Amino acid sequence: MDKNRIEGTKHEVKGAVKEAAGKVTGNPVKEASGQAEKQVGKFQKEVGKSRDDYKKHT
């Protein structure tokens, strides 16, 4: 498994926690930061998945 998939999952979880904390505290900046980090994590996971697929087929 490519390390990008693991790191991407970490970013998604961390972003979800930040987003929830921003909602609870009424901090829109923290909430937006969490949403952005989740998106970065999703992208990074897709990069890792693509790399894994490439390795399988070569």
- What token pair was written down for 11? 């970013």
Give alpha helix (H) positions in the chain.
3-25, 28-56
44: its two tokens: 């990074």
User: Mean pLDDT across the stretch 47-55?
Assistant: 94
Q: Say if residues 48 and 29 touch (Cβ distance below 8 Å).
A: no
Q: Which domain holds residue 12?
A: 3-56
Reported as a single tens digit per residue, the pLDDT across 17-35 is 999 999 999 999 999 999 9
Instruction: Report pTM.
Output: 0.85
DSSP state of 57: T
> For residue 2, which of 48, 40, 41, 46 has the smallest C-alpha distance?
48
Domain count, the chain: 1
pLDDT of 1 over the 90 cut: no
